[in-house]
Amino acid sequence: MNRPNLLAHSRIHRRGLLAGAGALALLGSRPARAVLNIDINRGNPQPMPIAIPDFVAGSPGDIEAARNVTSVITNDLRRSGLFAPISPQAFVERITNGDAIPRFQDWRVINAQALVTGGITRQGDGRLRAQFRLWDVFAGQQLDGKQYYTGPDNWRRIAHIIADQIYETLTGEKGYFDSRIVFVDETGPKDRRVKRLALMDQDGFGVRYLTRGDELVLTPRFNPTTQEITYMAYGQGEPRVYLLNIETGQREIVGNFPGMTFAPRFSPDGQRVVMSLQQGPNANLFVMDLRSKQTTRLTDTPAIDTAPCYSPDGRQIVFESDRGGSQQLYVMPANGGPATRISFGDGRHSTPVWSPRGDYIAFTGMIGGQFAIGILRPDGSGERILTEGFHNEGPTFAPNGRVLMFFRDLGPGPFLYTIDVNGRNELKEPTPSYASDPAWSPLLS
Amino acid sequence: MRMRTASAISAGVHIAVLLWATLSFTGKSFDAPQPDPLPVDLISDKEFSELTKGIKEAPKPVEKPKPLVEKKADEVKPVEEVKPKIDDKKPEIKPTAEQVPQPPAPPKPDAIAEKLKSEPDPRVAKADPTPLPPHKPPRPQPKFDASKIAALLDKREPERKAALGSDLNTSPSLGAPMGNAAKLSQSELDALRARLMALWNPPDPGRDAERLRITIRITFTRGGMLAAPPMVLTSGSGPRFMAMRDSAVRAVLIGQPYTMLRPEHYDSWREIDFTFDTSEMYKDLPTR
């Protein structure tokens, strides 16, 4: 293991000596032996086995709350498809103190790679204190740990927030569990459907109705910044686009247009609403500033331009248009201008929606009487179909851009489904009855 | 005067063109995919000669190893064949046709002679004018009797032998022209890589997945366990980096013990840098 001696020459003059010393210093900074280097350029993505024992209750009265919080966290992580919660029956160690270091050996034997411990304690003022710790079982160290205070009715949100925290620590991506879905709840026989706007947590719990059902409601969309919804309603007279504050119940008409307005959507800053305005046989895109109430025309074509959606940076708008003969997707600058067609796959493309992550645009594809949900990149490349069948429609992205929700009608009525952008992990969303037109809210916190 | 101006312009333009060419034609180097590194050990002259010199007191080969057979055949008596006598001192071969075969001289502890003796040289046999062995009367052909099949079965005990490396190659080295240091073989490397690929559960990639690479230095014990906590050589920050780093460290920890690494090659795998990246994984997403 001898290193060649750089100073072996018998006659060394000063400069040579210095150079040699410099070179030696350089060599010295390297490891003494050649370390073998192995490239692992392929992994084996699988749901990560995670153990979530029941949170420890601070008092006997909190046992139920602790158990509920644990089950919501477990359910969130399981539904994401990225985690495989281990059955509590397999647990060796019983967690009795949410703050103590667990016996990692006991969790390694059941092959848990991550472990969540925590506790729920009722404070003197009636609030709940929830705290959790996330452990890396094989490294034997804590990865994360936080505590939250909330009102006792808010335990569900706290559970979602903890699940988001675990998700982000283990996957490196923002979670999406602390978010809500607005959708059209459908009841009654097919010819006399009652359609109401409804709101629920992303896991299908806590359903709340926002309208009474005396008018037809369509295409609800969330404001990305506040708890506000825009949607189209058919009451008496012309269908109109409305704004609805879901906290106060207050609603207003967007713009004073002479004709039907539809397919509204907020800009990413929540300050504007872009929508379609029917003008004779054609429809064009307009944007309205919500503060100044000023409206601007974006397109002026003898065609049906509709379903506009902003890019997450607010600079571009993707929309569908039949200007080329059939419904296809186009992208144009947010303040109007020349539009570029981006969809060139088979069939027609409609209802585009831009991922909050900016990397994909999801759409409804129509080929030969079948309705599919697909995605493509904003430049039109990489188009792929995630699910197809008789009727799938209206995709909406989760706040982290990883999951899509859409509705599927197999005949009797529609239901909501989720699917990952990679086409895996398709799940039915629990809803009280038929449901369509879902829109995913941004993260609540 | 005009001539001089012309030359000046010409020279100027030439210089300009050359300069432009020098600056703009520097070009990109050809990026060849980096080949897998092969384990290399730097050794000194002394170590090399130590590796190649062999062992003086190595036992000399005396016996031919037993053939590795499942069943031992019956001893076949040699037909009256006269063996050529081989002697070091008398390399000449005598025809011994009329002579009664003599018992062979006591074997000398000579490897070559021993080997030659056990395998009669076909050339020698050919040159030998030995008459053909007397013709034996043909043996009566046994009649096949279906009721006595049991008698035909071979009831000898099988003689099994494990085919160990030492059985297959018993020649002790008395020095080799090439030094063959013990090193990590390609199959060990592949097994190690396959194990980590199977265990590594990388986080879902974002847009910049292909740029995230994590290098971890692992020091192993001779038993294939981690001698120290994994040392992450890549620095970074943010949840994506940390999730990727933790997933790589987890894979290395779960993979213990690394039994595919043979102790005799310990020197070459005592320390390994593992580079984890997902670049190969998400190349082939299905498109329509």
Q: So where are chain A's domains? A: 48-171, 180-440
Residues of chain A whose pLDDT is less than 70?
A: 1-34, 256
- 3 state DSSP class of A393: strand
Lowest mean pLDDT among A156-160, B38-42, B150-154, B251-255: B38-42
Between B205 and B187, whose confidence is greater?
B187
Chain B interface disruption, residue of A27, A39, A144, most B CBs within 10 A: A39
| CB pair distance less than 8 Å for B288 and A346 | yes
The per-residue pLDDT for B6 is: 92
Output the average pLDDT for chain B.
68
Chain A interface disruption, residue of B38, B47, B187, B201, most A CBs within 10 A: B201
Chain A interface disruption, residue of B40, B196, B204, B231, most A CBs within 10 A: B204
The per-residue pLDDT for A330 is: 93
- How many percent of chain B have pLDDT more than 70? 42
The per-residue pLDDT for A192 is: 83
Nearest-neighbour CA in chain B from A342: distance (Å): 14
Residue A11 in tokens: 């006659």
Neighbouring residues of B225: CB distance < 8 A, sequence distance ≥ 6: B256, B257, B258
Which residues in chain B have Cβ-Cβ distances shorter than 8 Å to A43?
197, 200-202, 247, 251, 276, 278, 281
The yes-or-no verdict on residue B49 having pLDDT over 70 is: yes
Q: Averaged over B131-144, what is the pLDDT?
A: 60
Nearest-neighbour CA in chain B from A358: distance (Å): 9
What spatial distance separates the first Cα and last Cα of chain B, rounded to whole Å? 72
Which residues in chain A have Cβ-Cβ distances shorter than 8 Å to B193?
38-40
The per-residue pLDDT for A316 is: 92
Query: Which of A128, A175, A152, A93 has its CA nearest to residue A444?
Result: A175
| CB pair distance less than 8 Å for A43 and B247 | yes
Output the average pLDDT for chain A.
85
Q: Averaged over B176-200, what is the pLDDT?
A: 72
Band of pLDDT at residue B108, cut at 50, 70 and 90: low
Residue B106 in tokens: 């006591």
| Domains assigned to chain B | 183-277 (3.30.1150.10)
The per-residue pLDDT for A436 is: 92
| CB pair distance less than 8 Å for B202 and A45 | yes
The per-residue pLDDT for A439 is: 93
Range A48-171: architecture per CATH = 3-Layer(aba) Sandwich (3.40)
Neighbouring residues of A422: CB distance < 8 A, sequence distance ≥ 6: B285
Which residues in chain B have Cβ-Cβ distances shorter than 8 Å to A170?
203, 243, 246
The per-residue pLDDT for A36 is: 84
The per-residue pLDDT for B128 is: 46
CATH number of A180-440: 2.120.10.30
| CB pair distance less than 8 Å for A36 and B244 | no
Query: Which of B281, B284, B261 has its CA nearest to residue B213?
Result: B281
Q: Averaged over B107-126, what is the pLDDT?
A: 53
Q: Averaged over B140-150, what is the pLDDT?
A: 68
Neighbouring residues of A202: CB distance < 8 A, sequence distance ≥ 6: A160, A176, A177, A179, A180, A181, A398, A440
| CB pair distance less than 8 Å for B199 and A170 | no
AA letter at B256: Q
Partner-chain residue, chosen from A48, A172, A422, that has the shortest CB–CB distance to B242: A172
| CB pair distance less than 8 Å for B201 and A113 | yes
Distances (CA, A) of B271 to A34, A295, A332, B224, B267: 9, 67, 55, 11, 8
Band of pLDDT at residue B168, cut at 50, 70 and 90: very low
Between B28 and B255, whose confidence is greater?
B255
The yes-or-no verdict on residue B223 having pLDDT over 70 is: yes
| CB pair distance less than 8 Å for A173 and B192 | no
Partner-chain residue, chosen from B198, B268, B280, that has the shortest CB–CB distance to A44: B198
The per-residue pLDDT for B112 is: 59
- 3 state DSSP class of B77: coil
